[in-house]
Amino acid sequence: MTEPAPSDDLLDALIIGTGVAGILQLHRLREQGRTVLAVDAAPGVGGTWNWNRYPGARVDSESYTYGYYFSEELLADWTWTEHFCSQPENEAYLNHVVDRFGLREHIRLRTAVTAATYDDGTDTWTVRFDDGTHRRARFVITAVGILSAPQYPAAPGREDFQGVSAHTARWPHEPVEVEGRRVGVIGTGSSGVQLITAIADRVGELTVFQRTPNWCPPLNNGPLTAADMTDLRGRYQEIWAACQALGSVYAAPAHPASDLSPAQRRTFFEDLLDSKRGLASLYANFVEVMVDPGLNREFAAVLADRIRARVDDPAVAERLVPRHHFGVKRPPLETGYYEVYNRDNVTLVDLLEEPIERITRTGVRTAAQDYDLDVLVYATGFDAVTGSFDRIDITGARGVSHRDVWKAGALTHVGVATPGFPNLLYVGGPQSLVGNIPRVVEHQVEFVSELVGRALDDGVRRVEVTQEAAQAWTDHVEEVVDTTLYRTGQSWMYGSNTPGKARAFGLYAGGLRAYVDRLNGIRADGYTGFVLSTS
Ligand code: N01
């Protein structure tokens, strides 16, 4: 691994993170001929797709809507093997992109950023790494992800457990032996649902510790044949264009739900679940489902009936039926998940009835009993949205702490920058799209690359956003989400899964088109809300 420049040289930009966003950002700035270094704490590139290597991990947006669209050659030569590719395939894809575009020599792996400090005198950032070294850069661009700081239960005793334990988001590179063993899984979000389904028939005994059941529509995955890929390649531009509304290939029905009778709506919902894939239950559904509690309940009733029909034991089925509105927690997508609970080797523990008291040497103790385990998996999610930022000591102009500025929730202008932190820009960060991250990231990367390129070419020393612009966007983010049922939910999107965290919606629920229109408007008006200073 070679660095692009000796460590004393000032980089044009330092990128934190080499996931989907960081790789694209690195490529775009290298295309401009900038000196750039991308660093990542992980041993390989891929971000989410490097860390989350647990059995069953896969995308829930169609592979061909999740991949990059910036290169026709890349689109032409990459072959997806499934509608929803697995983690290994996605990791291989991202490595392929890095090598195909000659990016690897500009990446430093196994390098965690511990601190980033802005120097008002020189208008540069000093970025410190966990190996004690540092680099200076004119711009720092974070591509740290909104779901990348793993979170463990607060229950005491985690260090006491004598068996093997792992978090789904820090899954070891060496295999975790589960065959024939007593395995416990805490958490039934997307990670838990995927993992539980993948290992249920391999383990000796599986104990699932569930706090909140989730609405899990079917993924409806399937293989992609050579003919499918030929067809997809012929339609890539059409697919990309379709994704520009919501980030998904799907669109909501043009007519309101009230045009149909309850029986017709039931048929519509059943058909949606049977014939469409992935997150169609959100995106191809009536928009009113996320706004109107009655309609949401109507749709959820269809899902609940399906759970009851698939789970043999009625008492177990009832524990698996959620009480919250569909969609306010991001729905995990399933393939055979509910049938897992018909297996003799699987036990569902309802933590609402018997909360976890502690982790012990031999397993998990709940209010009711001890569960002895050989392997304990934490599928307990993330300190989401702001968590990865908070883990870095970021100090901006005049010594202001990033952590402090975001204490009540993220504060950004269009998800790209925060007042008081000149030359610090975000891609794939807070206050941008709910949904398919790569589709919003490509627009943010274009925006940021153009802004950085212009600043470097025009001798702009400081790129800052105003307090007014950031407050206006943050207020808008809240206004938009307040029109939806999301506001009724407890989810990582609000930070409610992290004890003590301020409640603030961390994403933008207005759809991709509205978000990109806003970005384009800002650029066309000469970067409204930004101050570009040459002295
Ligand atoms: O995390 P989560 P995740 N005691 O926060 C439970 C994306 N993703 O890693 O709901 C007991 O959703 C918690 O219970 P509760 C996707 O956007 C995508 O699964 O807080 N239980 C919940 O059941 C997703 O939304 C894919 O009551 C505790 C679970 O742990 C996001 O990542 C795959 C607990 C955490 O669920 C996060 O998903 C995977 C405690 N102390 C992830 N603390 C794709 O398919 C937490 N839990 C692309």
| Other Cβ atoms within 10 Å of 93 Cβ, number | 22
Tell whether the model's pLDDT for residue 451 goes beyond 80. Answer: yes
Mutational test site, ligand 1, from 58, 147, 486, max ligand atoms within 8 Å of CB: 147
Q: Closest ligand 1 atom to the C-alpha of 330?
A: 25
Give yes or no for residue 490 CB within 6 A of ligand 1: no
pLDDT at residue number 474: 98
The answer to whether residues 292 and 255 touch, using CB atoms and an 8 Å cutoff, is no
Per residue in 252-267, pLDDT (tens digit) is: 999 999 999 999 999 9
**Of 14, 38, 49, nearest in space to 437 by CA:** 49
Distance from chain centroid for Cα 485: 20
Confidence of residue 421 (pLDDT cuts 50, 70, 90): very high
**Of 289, 373, 282, nearest in space to 332 by CA:** 282
Per residue in 375-419, pLDDT (tens digit) is: 999 999 999 999 999 999 999 999 999 999 999 999 999 999 999
Q: For ligand 1, atom 6, which residue shows the shortest CA distance?
A: 187
What are the two backbone dihedrals, phi and then psi, of residue 393, each rounded to the nearest 5 degrees?
A: -80, 95
Q: Tally helices (H) and strands (E) across the chain.
A: 17, 18
Collapsing DSSP states into helix, strand and coil, what is residue 356?
strand
DSSP letter string over 191-248?
HHHHHHHHHTTTBSEEEEEESS-----B----B--HHHHHHHHHTHHHHHHHHHHHSS
**Of 495, 513, 509, nearest in space to 147 by CA:** 495
Give yes or no for residue 380 CB within 6 A of ligand 1: yes
Give yes or no for residue 266 CB within 6 A of ligand 1: no
pLDDT at residue number 134: 98
Give yes or no for residue 320 CB within 6 A of ligand 1: no
Give the type of residue at 339: E
Q: Which long-range contacts (CB under 8 A, 24 or more apart) does 298-305 make?
A: 298/262, 298/265, 298/266, 298/269, 299/269, 299/326, 300/215, 300/325, 300/326, 302/266, 302/269, 302/270, 302/273, 303/215, 303/216, 303/217, 303/273
Q: For ligand 1, atom 8, which residue shows the shortest CA distance?
A: 190
Q: Share the mean pLDDT of the chain.
A: 97
**Of 67, 61, 48, 142, nearest in space to 436 by CA:** 61
What CATH number is given for 10-149+384-528 in this structure? 3.50.50.60
Per residue in 279-308, pLDDT (tens digit) is: 999 999 999 999 999 999 999 999 999 999
Write out the residue limits of the CATH 3.50.50.60 domain(s) in the chain: 10-149+384-528, 150-214+332-381
Mutational test site, ligand 1, from 50, 486, 497, 501, max ligand atoms within 8 Å of CB: 497
> Separation of 31 CA from ligand 1 center, angstroms?
37
Q: For ligand 1, atom 3, which residue shows the shortest CA distance?
A: 381
> Separation of 518 CA from ligand 1 center, angstroms?
31
Per residue in 340-365, pLDDT (tens digit) is: 999 999 999 999 999 999 999 999 99
2 vs 235 pLDDT, higher one: 235
> Separation of 134 CA from ligand 1 center, angstroms?
34
Give yes or no for residue 63 CB within 6 A of ligand 1: no
How far apart (Å, rounded) are the C-alpha atoms in residues 505 and 199?
34
Confidence of residue 535 (pLDDT cuts 50, 70, 90): confident
Give yes or no for residue 497 CB within 6 A of ligand 1: yes
Distance from chain centroid for Cα 443: 17
Residue 307 CB contacts under 8 Å (≥ 6 apart), including other chains: 317, 320, 321, 338
Confidence of residue 529 (pLDDT cuts 50, 70, 90): very high
Length of the chain: 535
Mean pLDDT, residues 197-208 = 98
> Separation of 364 CA from ligand 1 center, angstroms?
19
Give yes or no for residue 197 CB within 6 A of ligand 1: no
**Of 212, 219, 220, nearest in space to 321 by CA:** 212
How far apart (Å, rounded) are the C-alpha atoms in residues 320 and 254?
33
Tell whether the model's pLDDT for residue 436 goes beyond 70. Answer: yes
| Other Cβ atoms within 10 Å of 19 Cβ, number | 26
Q: Closest ligand 1 atom to the C-alpha of 351?
A: 11
> Separation of 188 CA from ligand 1 center, angstroms?
6
Collapsing DSSP states into helix, strand and coil, what is residue 317?
helix
Confidence of residue 5 (pLDDT cuts 50, 70, 90): very low
pTM over 0.85: yes
Q: Does domain 150-214+332-381 match CATH 3.20.190.10?
A: no
Mean pLDDT, residues 485-509 = 95
At 462, list the tokens: 């400081």
At 471, list the tokens: 């407050």
Mean pLDDT, residues 471-478 = 98
At 214, list the tokens: 């989730």
Positive or negative CA dihedral for 234, 240, 246, 248? Answer: positive
In 321-461, beta strands by DSSP E: 346-350, 356-359, 363-366, 370-372, 375-378, 393-395, 424-426
Q: For ligand 1, atom 38, which residue shows the shortest CA distance?
A: 190
How far apart (Å, rounded) are the C-alpha atoms in residues 184 and 355?
15
Give yes or no for residue 60 CB within 6 A of ligand 1: yes
Residue 260: burial class (beta carbons within 10 Å; 0-12, 13-18, 19+): middle
DSSP letter string over 70-129?
S-HHHHHH----BSS-BHHHHHHHHHHHHHHTT-GGGEE-S--EEEEEEETTTTEEEEEE
pLDDT at residue number 89: 98
How far apart (Å, rounded) are the C-alpha atoms in residues 192 and 209?
10
Give yes or no for residue 374 CB within 6 A of ligand 1: no
The answer to whether residues 512 and 243 touch, using CB atoms and an 8 Å cutoff, is yes
Tell whether the model's pLDDT for residue 6 goes beyond 70. Answer: no
Confidence of residue 435 (pLDDT cuts 50, 70, 90): confident
Give yes or no for residue 207 CB within 6 A of ligand 1: no
How far apart (Å, rounded) are the C-alpha atoms in residues 487 and 377?
30
pLDDT at residue number 102: 98
Give yes or no for residue 507 CB within 6 A of ligand 1: no
CA 450, 24, 148, 55: dihedral to nearest 10 degrees? 160
At 425, list the tokens: 């820009």
Q: Closest ligand 1 atom to the C-alpha of 59?
A: 48
Residue 253: burial class (beta carbons within 10 Å; 0-12, 13-18, 19+): middle
pLDDT at residue number 8: 67
Tell whether the model's pLDDT for residue 2 goes beyond 60. Answer: no
> Separation of 305 CA from ligand 1 center, angstroms?
23
pLDDT at residue number 214: 97
